Structures are given as structure tokens and as C-alpha cells.
Amino acid sequence: MTSGAAAAATGAGKGRRRVGVLISGRGSNMMALAEAARAPDYPAEIALVLSNRPDAAGLGWARAQGIPAQAIDHKAYATREAFDAALDTALAEARIELVACAGFMRLMTAAFVTRWAGRMINIHPSLLPLYPGLHTYARALADGVRIAGCTVHFVVPETDAGPIIAQGAVPVLDGDTPDTLADRILAVEHQIYPHALALVASGAARLDGGRVTIAVPINHSSRLISPDPVASR
Ligand code: GRF
């Protein structure tokens, strides 16, 4: 790939925030971010993909797109501090300005999180603050909720907490399994993550006293009701 073609693929260009994406596996959210960054007016470029697992499928995809991608195997580091220091070094070398965690399955030290405060975001497959942690779909189904979804938030030392930037919701259907619900939510993750990253990178979403303010119009009449009152008439 020529450097020009690589620039087009990664969305590299002037005035864009340099984003590092942290993954551990499949990397479908990272792919959604990279696809969005192809648009000439997208305010961020995916400048680096890092995985703590060398076998993460997303690494190969990123390299094939011309995106620098690197494995930093957490098993090679004796402590969380040492692993986080290696992450920090790689992010600094790539001149990363914003970090997007996308299925990154490693707990980070409070020191690392604090260093990136306000500059690191994460996607989680639930409507936080409901269902932080693992098994979000099974827990939502066990509770019988009618609406589930996903959240993009700034990262704070507490796991799956932090100021909320964007959320997306889907109906829960009778007969859903954790897998069918995960698929429905994942499709929305791929919409809200590029949207939320753009809001942060452009400065439209700002941290203000521990909350996020959004400086773009919000459609105050949009709503999701489940079961749908029109369809069930
Ligand atoms: C997504 O559901 C994300 O919300 C969660 O882990 C999953 C990662 O999927 N944190 P992918 O690697 O982005 O495909």
C-alpha cells in the first residue's frame, strides 16, 4: 500500500486527533471506528491498534488496512504497572492523543487511568450504570428488562463507570438468548462508538464537573418503547 493509500485507509490527515485503539480479540468495534475514520470530515484518525493478546483477530485486520498494529502480551510482564508502562510507551511513541478501549479485557492501574483521564473512552454492552462487568446479556435477560443497550463512557479507575458520552438501546425480544441479544446490541455499538469518538475528538462532547455536556442538537422527541405500542395494536 502506498503511503497515500494508507493515509486514505486510516483517515490520516491534518487536524485530526490521533487515536489509539486497545483491543483483546475480534475487534469489530475497532473496525467500525477505522471505517468511520475513512470519511474525510471525521475528526479522528486511527493511528495505532494495540492488543494485549498476540492472537487477537483484529490485529491482522488493522495491518491489512495499513494501520500500525502491535501486540503487547500482558503475560510477558510481571506486574500490571509494568504492562501499563509498556502501553504508555507505545502510545507516546505513536503520539496518541485519545485512547479508545474496544473489547480490551485487561484491568488497568488507577495510575494509568488517571494519566489518561478525559482522554480515554470505552464501550460497554449495557445501559450503564446497569450491569457493569461480565455477562451483561444473561443478567439483563434474567431480570426481564424490555430494553437493553450499550454505553460509551470516559474511563475512570472504577470498572465500567465514568461519565457517559452516548448510549444506544434495543428491544429485548421474547425468546432472546444471550447470543441473540448480544448480536442486536453489537450492531448498535458499531453505530454509537464512531459517533461518540467523533463527539469527543471534535470537542462537541466535553467533560464538565464529572459529567459530559454535548454541544450538538439532540432530538428530544426520539424514543424507544418496547413492546412497540403501534406494532402491538
Ligand atoms: C463488545 O461487545 C464491547 O462492548 C465489549 O466487548 C465486545 C468487544 O467486541 N466491551 P469487539 O472485539 O469489538 O468485536
For the stretch 40-50, pLDDT in tens is 999 999 999 99
The alpha carbon of 139 and the centre of ligand 1 are apart by a number of angstroms equal to 17
Instruction: Specify the ligand 1 atom closest to the Cα of 189.
Output: 4
pLDDT value at residue 213:
97
Residue nearest to atom 12 of ligand 1 (CA): 27
Tell me: the pLDDT tens digits for 136-173?
A: 999 999 999 999 999 999 999 999 999 999 999 999 99
What mean pLDDT comes out for the span 1-30?
75
Task: Write the CB contacts of 16 (distance below 8 Å, at least 6 apart in sequence).
Answer: 37, 42, 43, 44, 45, 201
Number of neighbours of residue 29 by Cβ within 10 angstroms: 26
The alpha carbon of 103 and the centre of ligand 1 are apart by a number of angstroms equal to 4
Q: Cite the active site residues.
A: 124
Does position 6 have pLDDT exceeding 90, yes or no? no
Instruction: Specify the ligand 1 atom closest to the Cα of 26.
Output: 12
Cα–Cα distance measured from residue 120 to residue 137, given in angstroms and rounded to the nearest whole number: 25
- Write out the three cell numbers for 133: 462487568
This prediction's pTM: 0.94
Task: Answer whether 181 contacts ligand 1 (Cβ < 6 A).
Answer: no
Q: Among 105, 123, 127, 184, which is best to mutate for testing ligand 1, by the most ligand atoms less than 8 A from CB?
A: 123
The alpha carbon of 23 and the centre of ligand 1 are apart by a number of angstroms equal to 8
Q: What angle do CA 90, 93, 96 make, to 5 degrees?
A: 85
What is the β-pairing status of strands 17-23 and 98-101?
parallel
What is the β-pairing status of strands 44-51 and 69-71?
parallel
What mean pLDDT comes out for the span 203-223?
95
The alpha carbon of 209 and the centre of ligand 1 are apart by a number of angstroms equal to 28
